[in-house]
Structure 1
Amino acid sequence: MNALVYLEPEQIAWGEVSKPTLLKPTDAIVKMTKTTICGTDLHILKGDVPTVTSGRILGHEGVGIVEAVGSAVTAFKKGDHVLISCITSCGKCEYCKKQMYAHCEDGGWVLGNLIDGTQAEYVRIPHADNSLYAIPPGGDEEALVMLSDIFPTSLEIGVLYGAVKPGDVVAIVGAGPIGMAALLTAQFYSPAKIIMIDMDRSRLDVAVRLGATHVVDSSNGDVAKAVLAHTKDGVDVAIEAVGLPQTFDICQHIVRPGGHIANIGVHGKSVNLELQKLWIQNITLTTGLVNTNTTPMLLKTVESKKLMPADLITHRFTFDQILEAYEVFGNAAEKNALKVIISAGDD
């Protein structure tokens, strides 16, 4: 089969590799029909994720068709259309029993990290019963690719950890796919204002279309001052959706007393935590890796058309165009890209 292989920082290749096989009774082999590229994949390419070693097949998102299942798999069979969770969970360990699937003792974020991932024609899914979701008949599989990672991540680590509630003023720093997904899911909880912050004017325009009440161009002037102009004394919830010291700083400077900073971004460098200012402000700071315990609910919202993840799709490619897809996604501002869909050629 063909797959996208990480070689070293800034080096990837699309080429022939061995097709995966069942290694444990709880495994499934899935024939990939659609996948995508995540901001985390770009962090891997930059060398920010040292657990990813040379030869690893990248990718942790997608949908596909079950090709084979191990003898212990009971929830799925050959031919089933499935959504692949970015988080693998055994369902039995101490962390899984707390719904902290990200910290599963025999799973967590392993796809495209510690084991081969989904940017391939076939992928092995450990603990298939707990790591796959059945796609409803007639489901929009392109839209559902967004439920592998970015929507549960934004909802859980941004909106829920940030404790967004009716009437809140919410600021989202970063109008990329994660920030846009936070924008869409924050609206479940009826905040009074949602302020989107980014330096890309076209993304800010999209944010307005998707529900942002205010936008701030971070390439011009004092960002914190511009945000504070829309508030009484700061925002109730500041969601960091980039993963840079500068964007984390913005959150520290705009959060109001008693507010929340919810960090979603993947950080490859240390940040300056201004605890000498924040300690007296009763600030709550949260971080996290998605647990995907909200995925079943999100599936229902997509099925009922209350949530429209397909609104974030800007580009489509086939598997043999995956290097071009990386080029486009890696230069998102220049290419006006949000999420890309990469489909099997015969799909």
Structure 2
Amino acid sequence: MKAVTWQGVHDMRVTEVPDPVLQEPTDAIIKITSTGLCGSDLHLYETLAPFMEAGDVVGHEPMGIVEEVGPAVTSLRPGDRVVVPFNVSCGSCWMCERQLYSQCETTQNHEHGTGASFFGYSKLYGQVPGGQAEYLRVPFADFLPVKVPHEHADDRFLFLSDVLPTAWQGVQYADVPDGGTLLVLGAGPIGDMAARMGVRQGYRVISVDRVPERLARVEAFGAETVHLDEAEQAGGVGDAVRDLTGGRGPDSVIDAVGMEAHGSPGASLVQKVTGMLPDAVAEPMIKKAGIDRLAALHSAVDAVRRGGTISISGVYGGAADPMPMMQLFDKQVQVRMGQANVRRWTDELLAMLVEDDPFGVDAFATHHLRLDEAPNAYEHFQKKEEGMVKVVFQP
């Protein structure tokens, strides 16, 4: 089959790889009909390269049609239409019973000290073949896949794999008071969706980004916008947002940017240098050092009102990043973060999507491309070119 494979830093290729086969009686094989390109995939493109191996199949936002099921699978059958969450979670361990699916004890990666495995996401998270491919093996098929109706185009349900539950968890963790103000840093796919959800919840939403097309998208959905470059020229994001909130700051902030933040030239250089080092040197460096670009997180700490909440959805990879602990403590800020526990939120979100399209998912993707267009798409997406906010590949 054809699949998008990592071959080196900034080197994604569509290659022929073996078709997946059933390995456990609880597996299913899915024929992919749509699969997303995520901002987290860009971390593999450059920053987390030391944990990748040439030929790794990437992608963690797939959906499709069940092709085959193992003999122990009772809830799925060939022909069913499913979305596959990016967490590989069993549904029955101690963590899963508490709906902490991103911490599944069955698929935790003890060698690297990380949580549940992900599809298509490096040795750090299990090196499980991903979903930017024609077919995908899905473990725990009686629990993990989300069965969806055959009505509507793929885009109505595809984003249950990651974007919708990640943004929804970010908003829940932000704990915005009724009628409160939510600041969303970043208007990429997660920040865009979180802003839409905040507006729908009745919050005043302020979105910050530096790409005009992205700001226009959230503004059209009801959010106020702040252009990052203009804010920085006028004294910073914190000052700009305080001017809009009576000098106090927003009740809650979502950092939907993470380690890819602009405005951190020193950390950016460290990331690039680390990515070029031999894996044996780079792996322990990433595990023990602070390599993240923290401009967005520092802006969140500065901007949030005293006694407010910061919700971190953007991915960070450095183990020893410097944090403004004095400011966090002095402002009595609450911080919640973590990979989305996707399966915790899917049933609730699916019920909304079956009835309506409250978050504009039908028109959320900016580009629908063939799988063989993936290498160029990665390059343009990283550079925020051609108006790319969300890319969907269709094998």
TM-based fold match above 0.5: yes
Letter in 2 for 1:316: H
1:62, distance to aligned residue in structure 2 (A): 1.6
Aligned equivalents of 2:185, 2:3: Cα separation in 1? 33
Tell me the equivalent position of 1:260.
309
Cα shift readout 1:144-173 (whole Å, capped 9, x = no counterpart): 2111101101111x1011112321111000
Contact 2:117 2:128 in 1 (8 A): no
Secondary structure at the aligned position of 1:235 is classed as coil
Tell me the equivalent position of 1:130.
143
Letter in 1 for 2:143: N
* Aligned mate of 1:190, from 202, 225, 230: 202
Aligned equivalents of 1:247, 1:253: Cα separation in 2? 10
Tell me the equivalent position of 2:286.
none
Letter in 2 for 1:96: C
Contact 2:22 2:70 in 1 (8 A): yes
Which shifted more, 263-272 or 203-212?
A: 263-272
Tell me the equivalent position of 1:310.
362
Query: Structure 2 vs 1, CA of residues 49 and 89 (structure 1 numbering), >3 Å: closer, same or farther?
Result: farther
Tell me, yes or no, if structure 1 residue 228 matches structure 2 residue 242: yes
Tell me the equivalent position of 1:211.
222
Secondary structure at the aligned position of 1:279 is classed as helix
Tell me, yes or no, if structure 1 residue 319 matches structure 2 residue 371: yes
Contact 1:241 1:265 in 2 (8 A): yes
Secondary structure at the aligned position of 1:215 is classed as strand
Tell me the equivalent position of 1:15.
15
Q: TM-score, normalised by structure 2?
A: 0.83
Q: State how many pairs are aligned.
A: 340
Tell me, yes or no, if structure 1 residue 251 matches structure 2 residue 251: no
Contact 1:241 1:264 in 2 (8 A): yes
Aligned equivalents of 2:118, 2:149: Cα separation in 1? 26
Letter in 1 for 2:31: K
Secondary structure at the aligned position of 2:129 is classed as coil
Tell me, yes or no, if structure 1 residue 110 matches structure 2 residue 118: yes
Q: TM-score, normalised by structure 1?
A: 0.94
Secondary structure at the aligned position of 1:34 is classed as strand
1:320, distance to aligned residue in structure 2 (A): 2.2
Tell me how large the CA RMSD over aligned residues is: 1.5
Which shifted more, 320-329 or 255-264?
A: 320-329
Tell me the equivalent position of 1:167.
179
1:239, distance to aligned residue in structure 2 (A): 0.6
Aligned equivalents of 1:39, 1:314: Cα separation in 2? 14
* Aligned mate of 1:330, from 382, 386, 389: 382
Query: Structure 2 vs 1, CA of residues 183 and 85 (structure 1 numbering), >3 Å: closer, same or farther?
Result: same
Percent identity at matched positions? 34
Cα shift readout 1:4-39 (whole Å, capped 9, x = no counterpart): 111222222111110010000111010101111001
Letter in 1 for 2:213: S
Letter in 1 for 2:376: E
Contact 1:234 1:254 in 2 (8 A): yes
Tell me, yes or no, if structure 1 residue 285 matches structure 2 residue 335: yes
Contact 1:164 1:189 in 2 (8 A): no
Contact 1:170 1:235 in 2 (8 A): yes
Which shifted more, 300-309 or 170-179?
A: 300-309
Secondary structure at the aligned position of 2:142 is classed as helix
> Structure 1 regions of 5+ residues with no counterpart?
none
Aligned equivalents of 2:329, 2:208: Cα separation in 1? 25
Contact 2:371 2:394 in 1 (8 A): yes
Aligned equivalents of 1:10, 1:179: Cα separation in 2? 24
Secondary structure at the aligned position of 2:244 is classed as coil
Contact 1:165 1:190 in 2 (8 A): no
Query: Structure 2 vs 1, CA of residues 160 and 50 (structure 1 numbering), >3 Å: closer, same or farther?
Result: farther
Contact 1:302 1:308 in 2 (8 A): no
Aligned equivalents of 1:159, 1:331: Cα separation in 2? 27
Aligned equivalents of 2:38, 2:183: Cα separation in 1? 22
Aligned equivalents of 1:325, 1:304: Cα separation in 2? 32
1:188, distance to aligned residue in structure 2 (A): 4.1
* Aligned mate of 2:159, from 143, 146, 163: 146
> Structure 2 regions of 5+ residues with no counterpart?
108-115, 122-126, 262-293
Aligned equivalents of 1:124, 1:50: Cα separation in 2? 25
1:328, distance to aligned residue in structure 2 (A): 3.0
Contact 1:22 1:124 in 2 (8 A): yes
Letter in 1 for 2:244: H
Letter in 1 for 2:5: V
